[in-house]
Amino acid sequence: MERKIKIKSRDVSVFYKDFKALHEININIEVNKVTALIGPSGCGKSTFLRTLNRLNELIEDTTTQGQVYIDEHPIYNKDTDVVALRQRVGMVFQKPSVFPMSIYENVAYGPRIHGIKNREQLDEIVENSLKAANLWAEVGNRLNSPAARLSGGQQQRLVIARVLAVEPQVILMDEPASALDPISTARLEELIGELKKDYTIVIVTHNMQQAARISDYTGFFLNGELVEFSITDEIFVNPRDKRTEDYITGRFG
């Protein structure tokens, strides 16, 4: 069966001033799959993740070369609507960053920005997004309470609900469980497994066991290079590159 590709990067390099952080990355990311990016700190995996919705442009003196295609559309063309791009390609960061407002308003924020004012419509979006993020059962009866009162794990699921509310096609996650306890991490991993039915997910993780548990494909980054990219089982059981094997078996990193 032919793989349906959602995202393609072609010869993507990123420079921070004169430092070359990424070296000609070529990768195909399949639709409705979880792709994990692993590697030691500073290897370029988060930098690559940010190339997929042009977030690196918010960092001063950053230059990106090459091209990224989403559904065959080049996103680094001058006429790309970057706001619309970031709506389609949502981002979940390491630490949950809830807005200083109610649970309801956190989720309604994105749809409001995109012009939805009808209260019934917003109510439906909020409920559906919280249900999709496995949070509705816990917060549905207190939507007007401050989001900051939620636990860390709940806040991270609220951030995911906020991303889902603007109907993305791709969800990028940068170490989304690193600040969570084991129970919250397990819930988040379960949620990722459910979300991939409807979304393409790319996740950066330091936790190799997590990558092995939740991802369909894994890419191993080292010193700004994509050393190896394959089906997750193959990467962990039968890596082709000695550097991948050394990293997975704990010889470095």
The predicted-structure confidence for 146-159, as pLDDT tens digits, reads as follows 999 999 999 999 99
Residue 207's alpha-carbon distances to 94, 163, 182, 250, 253, in angstroms, are 13, 23, 12, 12, 11
Distance (Å, whole) CA 123 – CA 140: 11
pLDDT band at 72 (very low <50, low <70, confident <90, very high): very high
Cβ 96 vs Cβ 155: under 8 Å: yes
Mean pLDDT of 226-250: 95
Give pLDDT, residue 121. 97
Give me the pLDDT at residue 251, please: 81
Exposure b/e, 43-53, CB count within 10 A at least 16 = b: bbbbbbbbbbb
pLDDT value of residue 1: 60
Go through 153-177 and write b for each residue having 16 or more CB atoms within 10 A of its CB, e for each that does not. Answer: bbbbbbbbbbbbbbbbbbbbbbbbb
Average pLDDT over residues 85-103: 94
pTM for the predicted model, two decimal places: 0.95
**pLDDT over 80 (residue 92):** yes
Residue 3 has pLDDT above 90, yes or no: no
Q: Packing angle between helix 103-113 and helix 152-164, nearest 10 degrees?
A: 20
Is residue 67 within 8 Å of 74, Cβ to Cβ?
Answer: yes
How many CA atoms does the CB half-sphere of 233 hold within 13 Å? 0
pLDDT of residue 2: 64
Asked if residues 167 and 124 have their Cβ atoms less than 8 Å apart, the reply is no
**What is the DSSP-derived secondary structure letter of residue 186?**
H
Residue range 227-243: mean pLDDT, rounded: 96
Please measure the distance between the N-terminal and C-terminal CA atoms of the chain and give it in whole angstroms: 36
Q: Among the residues of 79-181, which ranges form H helices?
A: 82-88, 103-113, 119-132, 136-139, 152-164
Q: Tell me: pLDDT of 236 over 70.
A: yes
**Residue 21 confidence (pLDDT) above 90:** yes
d(CA 43, CA 78): 28
Whether 181 has a pLDDT exceeding 70, the answer reads yes
**Is the pLDDT at 213 greater than 90, yes or no?**
yes
Q: What is the pLDDT of residue 40?
A: 94
- Pair 187, 202: CB distance under 8 Å: no
